[in-house]
């Protein structure tokens, strides 16, 4: 006799999702909720930079041809850096450049390539700033926190996923957009050189080091993640604590405390000047999310203070020199302070209720 098994009455074994799987889903949630800031804002910033570069090349082309037509260049030729160029023909330019001129050209190309990639990175600072500021406040404001707390997700997982999105996901996407914008800039310059009978490899890709510049930008992602921790922690703490207007609380508390300390010269008690407080407390809590802000640290000042020409500046952004900040106490003390504030934000999220 065959037995009939009632599957509805049989208890089903439910396997809890792995913590890494839940964390990946939380990261995906943050990306899709803030896709405009994380992805499209850096892409549009890079596209606008390329558009402005194209417009500048067109204006330069029209202006140069107009000057030649009006006879402002003697015999349709002019001198640039001691090199006589006939009309706008760049074909013979590299053959007339000595070793020093080629070295300066290489440094100038690297600096121009790095400068062309700055727009997505500047946008990154604003995106991360306002993302962290609203990360825990907005979910209380629109009451979506009630839904997320009803799911089997801990406060720690939720807050850490937001912090990881700000410290790793957003900068990775911004650096990708910056590198794409840099190569787009070099392609535009190469087309301009080809149009004037020049060799892009000899004048751009050979002297320059775009791959080294790109590798340097990728290598700054872990530097950014640690350096930005104080600002990310402070903004998330304000987002979890403030009942309204977290932007004002985040800005006014460090700024007014700095004003009071400067007013009463309180730092003299510790034999420090007021500038130390503004640099290490106010600035670290508000502007560390902007890429390159670690160059204001004492450890990095020695890397850039002796920059005298473009080639020296290009050497100052090498990977090893960018990682010199890992040996500074400023980085690790700030990272520890940021981690403590993120932990406080996790604790606040557990009981904060604006009812």
Phi, then psi, of 194 in degrees rounded to 5 = -60, -40
How do the domains of the chain map onto residue ranges?
A: 37-54+61-351
Please, what is the end-to-end C-alpha distance for the chain in angstroms?
62
Give the pLDDT of the chain (355 residues) as one tens digit per residue.
455 544 444 445 444 566 678 889 989 999 999 999 999 999 999 999 999 999 998 888 887 777 767 665 554 444 444 344 445 555 556 666 666 777 777 778 888 888 889 999 999 999 999 999 999 988 888 777 767 667 777 888 899 999 999 999 999 999 999 999 999 999 999 998 888 777 888 888 888 888 888 988 999 999 999 999 999 999 999 999 988 899 999 999 999 988 888 877 766 666 667 788 888 899 999 999 999 888 887 767 665 555 555 555 556 566 667 788 888 889 999 999 999 999 999 998 877 665 5
For residue 130, give every residue at least 6 positions away whose Cβ sits within 8 Å of its Cβ, in sequence order, or none.
37
Closest to 253 measured CA to CA, from 272, 234, 280, 279: 234
The torsion angle over the Cα atoms of residues 48, 54, 60 and 63, rounded to 10 degrees, is: -100
For residue 99, give every residue at least 6 positions away whose Cβ sits within 8 Å of its Cβ, in sequence order, or none.
none
Closest to 164 measured CA to CA, from 31, 314, 332, 13: 31
Instruction: Tell me how crowded residue 211 is: count the other CB atoms within 10 A of its CB.
Output: 11
């Amino acid at each position: 006799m065959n037995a009939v098994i009632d599957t509805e009455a049989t208890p089903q074994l439910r396997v809890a999702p792995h913590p890494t799987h839940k964390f990946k889903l939380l990261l995906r949630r943050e990306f899709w909720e803030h896709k405009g800031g994380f992805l499209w804002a850096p892409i549009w910033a890079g596209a606008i930079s390329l558009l402005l570069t194209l417009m500048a090349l067109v204006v330069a082309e029209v202006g140069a041809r107009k000057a030649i037509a009006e006879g402002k260049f003697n015999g349709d030729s002019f001198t640039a850096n001691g090199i006589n160029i006939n009309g706008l023909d760049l074909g013979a330019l590299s053959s007339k450049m000595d070793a020093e001129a080629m070295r300066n050209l290489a440094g100038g190309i690297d600096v121009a390539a790095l400068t062309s990639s700055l727009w997505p990175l500047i946008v990154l600072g604003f995106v991360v700033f306002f993302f962290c500021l609203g990360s825990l406040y907005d979910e209380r404001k629109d009451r979506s926190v009630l839904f997320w707390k009803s799911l089997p997700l801990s406060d720690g997982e939720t807050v850490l996923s937001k912090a990881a999105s700000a410290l790793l996901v957003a900068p990775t996407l911004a650096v990708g957009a910056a590198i794409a914008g840099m190569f787009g800039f070099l392609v535009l310059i190469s087309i301009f050189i080809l149009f004037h009978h020049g060799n892009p490899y000899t004048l751009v890709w050979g002297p320059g080091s775009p791959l080294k510049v790109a590798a340097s930008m990728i290598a700054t992602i872990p530097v950014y993640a640690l350096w930005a921790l104080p600002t990310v922690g402070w903004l998330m703490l304000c987002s979890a604590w403030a009942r309204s207007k977290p932007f004002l609380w985040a800005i006014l508390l460090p700024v007014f405390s700095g004003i009071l300390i400067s007013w009463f010269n309180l730092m003299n008690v510790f034999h420090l000047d007021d500038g130390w407080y503004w640099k290490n407390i106010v600035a670290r809590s508000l502007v560390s999310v902007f890429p390159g802000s670690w160059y204001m640290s004492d450890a990095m000042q020695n890397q850039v203070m002796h920059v005298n020409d473009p080639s020296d500046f290009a050497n100052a952004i090498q990977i090893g020199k960018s990682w010199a900040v890992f040996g500074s106490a400023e980085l690790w003390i700030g990272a520890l302070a940021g981690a403590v504030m993120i932990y406080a934000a996790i604790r606040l999220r557990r009981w904060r209720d604006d009812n």
